[in-house]
Amino acid sequence: MSYELERVLKIGINREDELVYLVRWKDYGSDADEWISARGMKKARGLINDFTKDHPLLVEYAKNELEKRTLEKKIRFFHRQIDQCLDLIDAIREKELVAKRVVQEHVRVADGLRRNRDDMDVYVNTVGAVDVFEDVIVIE
């Protein structure tokens, strides 16, 4: 026994964001009506064309709604991408601040070492001068 479509009753959008059609099967009542995706209706193109001719505003509304949902998904995707980029920028800025603090600490330590070295040079020069004088014999 083969099943044949009688007509398209409605158009809609399923959870997977695909166009779907509510169809009536030939020789069956409304209790057998079924939603079928547009992909599954390739052989029933004539019935879809008839429905489109009879209900152009419904078809246009469904297609616009589908496009809107697709765009909303893309927008949410790009928002997530932007959020990830902003998180990376924040992490980089934090690492830059840490690196800046480390450099500042190294400069502070280097300055301290430089001061200590300069103090040592003064001390060595002073002690060296005293040593020179100690080697001199002063005769009175």
pLDDT digits (tens, 9 = 90+) for 21-68: 999 999 999 999 999 999 888 888 999 999 999 999 999 999 999 999
What topology is assigned to 1-54 in CATH?
OB fold (Dihydrolipoamide Acetyltransferase, E2P) (2.40.50)
Alpha-carbon distances of 133 from 121, 123, 128, 129, 136, rounded to whole Å: 18, 15, 9, 6, 5
Dihedral sign computed on CA atoms, order 16, 48, 36, 38: negative
Task: Kindly report the pTM of this predicted structure.
Answer: 0.61
Domain boundaries of the chain, sorted by first residue: 1-54, 60-135
So what's the pLDDT on residue 94?
A: 94
Write down the residue that tokens 């001390």 correspond to.
123
pLDDT digits (tens, 9 = 90+) for 102-136: 999 999 988 888 888 777 777 666 665 555 555 55
pLDDT digits (tens, 9 = 90+) for 17-33: 999 999 999 999 999 99
* Separation CA 23–CA 48 (nearest Å): 10
Return the structure tokens found at 131.
């040593």
Q: Measure the N-to-C terminal CA separation of the chain; round to a whole number of Å.
A: 141
